Amino acid sequence: MALSSALPAAAEGANVLRIGLDEVLTPGAPVAEAALPLVAQQVSAVAPVAPEPQVVGAADLVKAAEVQRVAAEQAARAAEEARLAEEARVAEEARLAATAAASAAGGVQMVVGRITSGFGARWGTSHQGLDIAAPIGTPIRVPLDGTVIDSGPASGFGQWVRVRHDDGTITVYGHISRSLVRVGESVAAGDVIAEVGNEGQSTGPHLHFEVITPGGTKVNPRPWIDERGIGLT
C-alpha cells in the first residue's frame, strides 16, 4: 500500500521537472524574448545607414536651366563682340593703307577751305554731306575721272554739279556760284569743274560735298576722301 502510493507522486514530480526544463529550453521562452531588443540594438549599430535621397524640385530645375541660358547668351554675345571688333580692326587697317597709298600717289586738292559741318544729325535733320567754307570763286576740282550727269540749277543748292565716276560712285558739289562743265562731258581727276558760291539755302560761301554709293546710298564723305588722299584744306 505504501509503495503504490509513492509511485504516482514520483511520476507527478517528474512531469513537473520536465515541464520546467521545456520552458527554459524552448525557443520563444520569456528569457529569449527578453534578449531580442539587445540583439536588435547591436545589429543596428553595426549595419550601415543608407543616406536619404535628395529630392530636386521643379523650381531648382528651372533655376539651373536659367543659369545655363544666361551663360550661353553671354558667351555668344562675347563672341559676336570679338568678331565685330576684329572686322573693325581689319577695315581700319585697310582704310589706313589706302590712305597712305593715295597720299603717296599725290591725291587731288579738291578745294582749299575749312570744314564747318560734318555728316550726320544737324539742327534736328540729317546733314548728308560735308560743308567746306571758302571764298566765293574758289576753284573746285573733281577728285577722280568721271562723267558729268548734272550741271546747273538744283532745288536747295541753287546750283550744283554731279559727276558719276568709273566705279559708279556719284559726287555732288552744291551751292556753287558757277559751273564750268556740261552734262555728258568727261572730266579727269584735277579738272576745275565749278567755283565756290553762296547759292540756294546757304548760310555763307561754302561747298557742300556729297558721296553717293553705286547703290544710291549717301555716305559720310570723310572716309572716302581720306582713303583717296583728297585735299580739302
pLDDT in tens, 77-122: 999 999 999 888 876 676 566 555 555 555 789 999 998 888 877 6
Annotation: CATH topology of 114-227: Glucose Permease (Domain IIA) (2.70.70)
What is the pLDDT averaged over residues 31-47? 51
* CA 151 – CA 53 distance, rounded (Å): 87
Instruction: Identify whether the C-beta of residue 184 lies closer than 8 Å to the C-beta of residue 163.
Output: no
More confident residue, 8 or 170: 170
Q: What is the pLDDT of residues 182-203, one digit of tens each?
A: 999 999 999 999 999 999 888 8
Per-residue model confidence (pLDDT) at position 48: 60
Q: What percent of the chain has pLDDT above 70?
A: 68
Q: What percent of the chain has pLDDT above 90?
A: 45
Per-residue three-class SS string for the chain: CHHHHHHHHHHHHHHHHHHHHHHHHCCCCHHHHHHHHHHHHHHHHHCCCCCCCCCCCHHHHHHHHHHHHHHHHHHHHHHHHHHHHHHHHHHHHHHHHHHHHHHHHCCCECCCCEEEECCEEECCEEECCEEEECCCCCEEECCCCEEEEEEEEECCCEEEEEEEECCCCEEEEECCCEECCCCCCEECCCCEEEECECCCCCCCCEEEEEEECCCCCEECHHHHHHHCCCECC
Confidence band, pLDDT 50/70/90 cuts, at residue 27:
low
- Amino acid, res. 132: I
